[in-house]
Structure formats: structure tokens, C-alpha cells
């Protein structure tokens, strides 16, 4: 299964290698910039130009949680390997770590001078990697909310 999102505001899952659309999700009000499966494969996260991050349940075929807190478009998102946390990168120059269980922002990472364009958790760790339009890449310890 392949997951995609685009300017049409939709995410789609595709059967591989046939290329058949298996599921489609709608709900964002602007382009999708990122999408990622939860490690268990039962949910996915999407990021959008509408400044939100959304959690989708594949069995329910719908959005179960909308995370708000960025002031500009969200450029990327990723799941932590444990499945309890989602990271987001935004054009507002910040990144956020979201606790999916409590439905709240756990911390905000500040330090980039321009848009944060991507974010990834390092597997099985509390470290995230961000890249920014300010031409820097940073490693962060989300336990202490500090750059490494």
C-alpha cells in the first residue's frame, strides 16, 4: 500500500503494484504537504496548508482528531515509532510534538529562522531531525526541548 496527498486536498491509499485507489480521505481545506502511516498501520497523519495536522482512522475512514496550534501552513509530519506521538513542521518557523493520547501539543521547538520544511523522528529515540529554509538542519531532544 502506498499513501499520497496533494493539491486536491485529498489523501489516497493505493494498492501496489496495480495502482488501484483503495481509500480516499477528505477534510483539509487546503493542499496536503505530508502524510504518514502510524507504525501499527491502523491510522495515518496528514499535514496541510490549512495549518492543521489531522489523524485519520482507516477502519472508520474518517478524521478522528484535528491538531491546531501552528499559525501558518504545516509542511511535514511524522509518527514516532511507539505510535503515541506525532511531529509537525511549519512555515511559522516552529515544529511541534503532539501527544496523540492526550490530544495536546507536548512541546514547541523554536530556533529556526525560517520555514521548517521537514521533520522526522529517529527510530526508537526521543530525537527529531528538522530541516529549514534557513539552510540549516537541527537535531532536537524532545525530552529537554533543546538542540543537540
pLDDT tops 90 at residue 120: yes
Give the C-alpha separation, 93 to 70, whole Å: 9
- Determine if the pTM surpasses 0.85: yes
pLDDT tops 90 at residue 128: yes
Q: Which residue has the higher pLDDT, 66 or 61?
A: 66
For residue 116, being part of any structural domain is answered with yes
Give the C-alpha separation, 3 to 98, whole Å: 21
pLDDT tops 90 at residue 142: yes
Identify the pLDDT of residue 20.
96
For residue 53, being part of any structural domain is answered with yes
pLDDT tops 90 at residue 60: no
What's the rounded mean pLDDT across residues 26-47? Answer: 96
For the chain, count helices (H), then strands (E).
Answer: 0, 15
**For the domain that residue 42 is a member of, what is the CATH number?**
2.130.10.10
Give the C-alpha separation, 6 to 26, whole Å: 11
Identify the pLDDT of residue 61.
80
For residue 5, being part of any structural domain is answered with no
Give the C-alpha separation, 100 to 148, whole Å: 25
For residue 8, being part of any structural domain is answered with no
What's the rounded mean pLDDT across residues 12-18? Answer: 92
Number of domains in the chain: 1
What's the rounded mean pLDDT across residues 50-66? Answer: 95
Domain that holds residue 110: 30-147
For residue 15, being part of any structural domain is answered with no
Of the candidates 120, 30, 25, the residue with the CA atom closest to the CA atom of residue 81: 120
What's the rounded mean pLDDT across residues 22-41? Answer: 95
Amino acid at each position: 500500500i502506498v499513501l499520497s496527498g496533494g493539491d486536491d486536498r485529498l489523501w489516497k491509499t493505493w494498492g501496489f503494484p496495480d495502482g488501484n485507489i483503495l481509500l480516499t480521505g477528505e477534510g483539509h481545506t487546503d493542499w496536503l504537504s505530508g502524510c504518514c502511516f502510524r507504525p501499527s498501520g491502523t491510522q495515518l497523519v496528514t499535514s496541510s496548508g490549512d495549518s492543521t495536522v489531522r489523524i485519520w482512522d482507516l477502519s472508520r475512514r474518517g478524521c478522528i482528531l484535528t491538531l491546531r496550534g501552528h499559525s501558518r501552513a504545516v509542511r511535514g509530519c511524522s509518527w514516532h515509532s511507539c505510535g503515541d506521538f506525532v511531529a509537525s513542521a511549519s512555515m511559522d518557523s516552529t515544529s511541534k510534538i503532539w501527544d496523540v493520547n492526550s490530544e495536546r501539543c507536548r512541546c514547541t521547538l523554536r530556533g529556526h529562522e525560517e520555514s521548517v520544511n521537514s521533520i522526522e523522528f529517529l527510530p526508537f529515540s526521543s530525537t527529531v531531525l528538522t530541516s529549514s529554509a534557513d539552510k540549516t538542519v537541527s537535531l532536537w531532544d524532545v525530552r529537554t526541548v533543546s538542540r543537540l
